Every structure is written in structure tokens, then in C-alpha cells.
Amino acid sequence: MTALSTPALSNLQINADRLWSTILETAQFGGTPKGGVKRLTLSEEDRQVRDWFRAACEAAGCTVSVDALGNMFALRPGRDASKAPLGIGSHLDTQPTGGKFDGILGTLAALEVVRALNDAGIETDTPLCVVNWTNEEGSRFAPAMMGSAGHVADLPLAEILARTDAEGVSVGEALDAIGYRGEVPLGTQKFSGFLELHIEQGPILEAENLTIGVVEHGQGIIWYNGRITGFESHAGSTPMHLRKDALATLSEIVLAVEKLAVDLGPNAVGTVADITIARQSRNVIPGEITFATEFRTPDAGILEALDKGLQAAVVRIAQKRKVSVQLDTIWRKEPTHFDPKVTGAVAAAAQKLGLSHRPMVSGAGHDSFHLATIVPTGMIFVPCKDGVSHNELESATKDDCAAGANVLLHAVLALAGDAAKA
Ligand code: GLV
Ligand code: MN
Ligand code: MN
């Protein structure tokens, strides 16, 4: 590979048209009539985009390996093979009514960085590794960020493989069904650092007319599974004071979650969703309900207070309504603090490219939260329309996607070594 002069390096740009066309091309795998994407993790559509990704990475000169959870690693050698690669990437799975940018932008921008370096004949000092993490979304199988959790040993492999979807299919069975249970043991792929580009999934950058978010912190998250067991009985003949109504109980829990998040705000959010009433009939008092709930906040103390508050509220509501409520914590992730060296490289790249930027906290969960527990890690945000995400209407402009990918490219050059020294 040829050495470039420093001015040529500092003007280096990704190919915005190529990045945009890969985003549109991969949006066909699971594309929905409303312009979104339904590509649940380890589904047939996920297999299709994985096959596309593998072929594209190989065509860009990378060697692709797959680990025991289907995490995909595309290695681009550097000058110094003794160095662990700098990881760049995100995820290609989506929500059931997802968009074409959440996770996808970060994965395809990482591929675009490799393609742009190839075009310019640049070999970095540190090798690069483009990554597609399995099941970031946590929609089909809980919890979210599952592949990266396995990679950093936050959850044991056997426990992850045994987790099931709503149809009772396990992660292990789903990996086998699409041929992506890889040979490589979990955690084998080492990194010297990790960097992820993502849409913001919130309204701040757009509202402030800024292009780049330098993500310094990530929210802590707690996910619970709940089950309320009351008593099914006749809706006409059971007096109100004798009822054990599971749905009325859930209503109180929903309001308690909302009140806790508001009272402990402004930096706290709480949600109840994914509710199933067993054996429904309009004239039977609901006797059994399952539900999911979560809290998020960047403050570890507030996360603990939200947890304690919910546990106490559930006991109080269950006693009052004479029902039993089981609340299982299925996932807890403490707040993340990204590495100043990596966030500094992101801010410096945005500055060098003349892009407006500000420090940010990530509201959404990301695989980078896990990577931050083992190596210096950072994230780059770009705006999305109206802050909408986890929705088929999710949208980001070609220019903002390109700006984010250029920041990724220049942060990579800063962190992985300057080719001008080649
Ligand atoms: C994943 O997308 C999450 O933030 O829940
Ligand atoms: Mn995502
Ligand atoms: Mn998501």
C-alpha cells in the first residue's frame, strides 16, 4: 500500500453515495410496505443480510469469522499484526417495526471506512475489525445486546443459548436454523478499542441543529418480567369488592412505574409494554397477565432508587388487591462511562471536519456499553428525523449519515495509526 502525505490524509472522505446505496440495498432484507425493516434477530431475513454482509466484507479484503453466538468479525490486517484490532461496527437486526438506520448505519459505515481506506491505499498500523453483533435489539430474545454480553462474559454462553422466544425457540436452535452458530469460541476476537456510529434515536441533535453527538455516557438499564395472578370469575356476578382483577392491578403498576420515573427525573425513564392477558374474554375478569417493564437512567444511585421503589410498589399493590405479583429482574446494566481517549478522538475528528458537535448521553442501549467494560470505547451519534426510532418512520439524511461515517473514519485514523508514517 502507498503512503499518503498528511494533507491528503486529512482530506480523506468516505464515499457518501456508496454508503447510502448499501443502506437502501440492505433495507430490502425484511423491508416493510411503510419503508421500515422487520429483521428480527436470527430470522431468515437476518440470515439474508448476514450473507450479504459476509460477502461484502470479503470483497473488501477482510477475513470473516463467526463466534458461538453468531457475532460476525471481519478482520482487515494492519501493519502491526501483534496489535489487537480496533473494533468498529454495530448490529443488523431490527425491531419488529424497525427502521433502516438503527444499528445498520454503524455496521455499514464501518464497512464503508474499510472500503474508503482500500480506495485510498491506506494501511493502518493497528488492524481493524468490522463487527455485526447478534441480537442487539432484545425484541425476539431478551435481553438486548446479547451477543456483546456473551463476548464480554457478562452472561454465560449456556444461559444465552437457552433463552427462548415467544414460540419457545431457543437462541441455540435459532442460530442453527440459519447456519450462524460459528466455530470461534466466545471472546476469542480481541480488541484494542471499540467505536460505534449510531443514529441518536432522540430529539436533541435535531432540536439544536447539530450534526455530531460525542457520546460520553450511556444510561443504566433494568429489565423485569412480571406475572400477575388474580382470579378469573364472572364479570356480571362478581361484586367489585370481591374481585382479584389482574388487569386493574397492572394498571396500578403502570402508573407506579410512570410516577417513579417522573419523581426521580428528569434523567429517568420507565416503560411497561409487551402485555399478555391469558384466556381473554370480555365477560371474564382477567385472572392472569404477563408484562415487561424497564427503567433507564445515567445515574447509578437513581437506578437503585427506581428498582427499590418498584419492588416496594409491587408489594403494596399486590397486598391491596389480594393478588400475587412476581417480578423477576432479567437484566441489569449499570450506567456506562466511555473512554476519554476515544471520545476525545471523536470530538477532534468532528472539529477537524468542521462539523458542529456536543457531548451526549445515550438514551438507548448499545453493544458499546458492554465493550466499554473491557476496552477503551466510544460512540458517535448523528441526528434522526423528529428523534423517532424503533418505528418504521425512522429517518436520517444522507448528508448526516456521511458526516457520521467521516467522523468514524477520522477517529479510526487517529486511534489505529497514521498511514503517513508508512
Ligand atoms: C435497544 O435498542 C434498546 O435500547 O432497548
Ligand atoms: Mn441500535
Ligand atoms: Mn434499537
Which pLDDT value is given to residue 9? 78
Nearest CA to ligand 1 atom 2: 137
Please report, for residues 266, 271, 281, 294, 306, the alpha-carbon distance to residue 301 in angstroms, rounded to integers and kept in the order given: 14, 19, 43, 16, 9
pLDDT at 201: 98
Other residues' Cβ atoms within 10 Å of the Cβ of residue 182: 20
Return the pLDDT at 422. Answer: 39
Q: What is the pLDDT of residue 420?
A: 36
For 174, the 3-state DSSP assignment is helix
Compute, in angstroms, the gap from residue 166 CA to the centroid of ligand 2.
21
**Global pTM value:** 0.92
Ranges under pLDDT 70 in the chain? 1-8, 418-422
Residue to mutate, 93, 101, 102, 137, ligand 1, most ligand atoms under 8 Å from C-beta = 137
194 and 87 in contact (C-beta within 8 Å)?
A: yes
Residue with C-alpha cell 476476537?
A: 189
Sign of the alpha-carbon torsion through 406, 91, 23, 360: negative
User: Which residues neighbour 243 within 8 Å (Cβ) at sequence distance 6 or greater?
Assistant: 230, 231, 233, 285
Amino acid 393: pLDDT: 97
Which ligand has its closest atom nearest to the C-alpha of 363?
1
Measured from the Cα of 95, ligand 1's closest atom is 2
Cα separation of 24 and 45, whole Å?
15
The closest alpha carbon to 146, from 23, 293, 40, belongs to: 40
Residue 7 has a pLDDT of 55
Neighbours of ion ligand 2 (CB under 5 A): 102-103
> Which residues have C-beta atoms less than 6 Å from ligand 1?
137-138, 144, 364-365
The secondary structure of 187-246 as a DSSP string is: T-S--SEEEEEEE--SSHHHHTT-SEEEEEEE-EEEEEEEEEE----BTTTS-GGG---H
Angle between helices 340-352 and 398-416 (to 10 degrees): 120
pLDDT in tens, 81-100: 999 999 999 999 999 999 99
* Whole-number average pLDDT of the chain: 96
Provide the edge-to-edge strand list for the sheet that holds 220-229: 269-277, 288-297, 220-229, 324-333
Predicted local confidence at residue 141, as pLDDT: 97
Confirm if 338 and 368 have CB atoms less than 8 A apart: yes
Q: What is the pLDDT of residues 99-140, one digit of tens each?
A: 999 999 999 999 999 999 999 999 999 999 999 999 999 999
Give the number of residues written for the chain: 422
Collect residues with CB below 5 Å from ion ligand 3.
102
DSSP three-state, residue 123: coil
Sign of the torsion angle spanned by Cα atoms 92, 223, 378, 399:
positive
Q: Give the pLDDT confidence score for residue 2 in this predicted structure.
A: 45
- C-beta of residue 148 within 8 angstroms of C-beta of residue 371: yes
d(CA 323, CA 243): 9
∠ CA 368-374-378, nearest 5°, is 35
For the CA of 294, the closest atom of ligand 1 is 5
Tell me, what's the pLDDT at 333? 95
- Find the 95 Cα to ligand 3 centroid distance in Å: 6
